[in-house]
Amino acid sequence: MRKLPDVWTEHPEIVRDLLREAGFTCGVEPRILKGRNPDWTCIIDGKRIGGDIYIHQADTILGVSMGAVVLVLLGLLVAAVVVVLWQARMITRLKRKPPGS
C-alpha cells in the first residue's frame, strides 16, 4: 500500500464521483496520512496498485489559502529587494573616494 498523488481541483465533488466510478472507495478514514478529512479521502486496493488518494480544493495548499501563500511570497520578494538595494548602497559608498584625495 502506498500514498497516491494528491489531487487539487476546482470541482472536488466531480473528482470524488469519478474515482468512485473507477472503483475507489471514498469517504473513509485515511490509512497512510492520518488526520486527512475522510470526506475527501478515496482508497483503492487493486491487484497492481493500492493506496490512498486525497482530494483538495484548487485554491488551497495543505489547507492553507492560496491568498495567504501569495502574501507570504510577496513579502519575501519585497524583503529580498530591500536587502539588495541596501547592499548596492553600501557598495557604492565604499567605492567613493574620500574627500580631498
pLDDT at 99: 66
Q: Where are the domains of the chain?
A: 2-58, 64-95
Residue 69 confidence (pLDDT) above 80: no
For residues 51 and 53, what is the distance between their CA atoms, to the nearest angstrom? 7
Cell of 89: 548602497
Mean pLDDT, to the nearest integer, of 3-9? Answer: 82
DSSP string across 38-57? GGGEEEEE-SS-EEEEEEEE
Q: Please report where in the chains the cell 497512510 appears, as a residue.
A: 32
pLDDT at 62: 56
pLDDT at 12: 93
pLDDT at 94: 85
Residue 22 confidence (pLDDT) above 60: yes
- Note the pLDDT tens digit of each residue in 7-17: 888 899 999 99
Coil vs helix vs strand at 92: helix
Mean pLDDT of the chain: 84
pTM recorded for the entire structure: 0.56
